Each structure stands twice: as C-alpha cells, then as structure tokens.
A and B are shown apart, each in its own frame.
Chain A
Amino acid sequence: AQSVTQLDSHVSVSEGTPVLLRCNYSSSYSPSLFWYVQHPNKGLQLLLKYTSAATLVKGINGFEAEFKKSETSFHLTKPSAHMSDAAEYFCVVSEDNDMRFGAGTRLTVKP
C-alpha cells in the first residue's frame, strides 16, 4: 500500500522568509499527490495536486511543489511566508480508491 512521510512535524519561519515543508512517498506506480492545509478548527482545503502532468505544480496562495520521482519526494515551498500561512499541512498520496495522509507539519510564522 502507498504511504507518506512528512519529515518535519513542526517548522517555524519568520514572516517574509522562504517556507519548505518536506514530503516523501512510496507508491506501487505513478501516484497522485496532494498538499492540503488545515487552519485551526477548520476542515481541510486543497493547496495543490500532482497528476502526472507538469512536475512543478503551482497552487493557491503562492505555494508550489515539485514532483521528483527519482527521490520519491513532493516538497512544498513558498518564497515568502505570511502570517496567514500558519496552519497544519498534510501531504497525501492517492492510489485507486485509497488516500493516505502524512502525519502533518505544523507551520508557525513569527512576526
């Protein structure tokens, strides 16, 4: 079965500095990969998704992620963090009818 590992449980950055949230996956074949964001006491919102088209995927709010098959990675980046980016981020791999979530990375943004 597919699985996801988010390499950092907590990332802290200063406002205006770059964000890097790391995700490695394992999958039997070409997976679909997603990043979802969850703000406190809210449901999950899709940031971006990879579906075997362009390897560099652009999402909402200035986020992007690069699919690297050789490294089985799908890291999420943003050039400049904003206070509103503080949230929990989930990397997700999907095969057939099954979605597997990473444990999540909590992003803190300091003023």
Chain B
Amino acid sequence: NAGVTQTPKFQVLKTGQSMTLQCAQDMNHEYMSWYRQDPGMGLRLIHYSVGAGITDQGEVPNGYNVSRSTTEDFPLRLLSAAPSQTSVYFCASSYWTGLGETQYFGPGTRLLVL
C-alpha cells in the first residue's frame, strides 16, 4: 500500500491564481480531511469528508473548495490564491470517524503564494 499520497510536494503561485492539491489513499478509508499547518498554530482542519459525495467544513474553510467523487481521492481547490494561504497542507484519512480512530497523514504539500 502506498498509504496517503499528495501531489505536488511544493508549489509557488501568484496571487489570484488557482490550483488543485491532490490527495489519494489506497486503504479504502471512508474519512478524509485536509489540514493546514502554520508556525505556532498546529494543524487546523479545512474540510473533511465522511464518504464519497459527502463533504463538510472544518475550522478554516474560507478560500478552499473540496469534492469527493470517489473513495480514493479528495482534492483541495484554491480558486484565487492569497498570500495568507501560504502554508503546508496535509491530507489525512481513516477508516471512519469513530472514537479513537487513527488518522494516517500524507507527506504534505508546501505552498507559497507570492
């Protein structure tokens, strides 16, 4: 199993550009989520999905869109990038969202918005 994979590893954008961060998992996990990591703030939940066709907002959803057409993939879209979205983005997955479920994290995407 490849686990959770993310592409690209690093991206530079100009303000106003759009892009999609890709996330895929091959563990047949129902639950997938996106976090951003900023210095001194830990990880903050952006969006999550409890299964194909179902998504919901997390703690910091503004400026980001998601969709979940398959169990395996959960892309994160930035429609108009802003410098405040410079961050490291992590995708995670788990079998479900029940008590004590372990999250498996991807290696991260480092995004710089100029």
Task: Show the binding face of A for B, using Cβ within 8 Å.
Answer: 4, 6, 9, 32, 34, 36, 42-46, 49-52, 90, 94, 96-104
Contacts and interface: CB of A to CB of B under 8 A. Distances in A.
Given A43-B90, A43-B106, A44-B105, A98 B58 contact: yes
A103 B100 contact: no
Interface of B: 4, 31, 33, 35, 40-45, 48, 50, 56, 58-59, 90, 92, 97, 99-103, 105-108
A9 B39 CA distance: 11
Contact of A51 (B45, B100, B106): B100
Closest 10 interchain pairs by CB?
A: A51-B100, A101-B42, A43-B105, A101-B43, A44-B105, A32-B100, A97-B97, A103-B42, A43-B107, A46-B102
Nearest to A50: B100
29 contacts: A4-B42, A9-B40, A32-B101, A34-B102, A42-B107, A43-B4, A43-B90, A43-B105, A43-B106, A49-B100, A49-B102, A50-B100, A51-B99, A94-B101, A96-B97, A97-B31, A97-B48, A97-B56, A97-B97, A98-B45, A98-B48, A98-B58, A98-B59, A99-B45, A99-B103, A101-B42, A101-B44, A104-B40, A104-B42
Contacts of A52: 99-100
A96 B45 CA distance: 13
A51 B100 CA distance: 5
B99 A43 contact: no
Nearest to A96: B97
Nearest to B100: A51
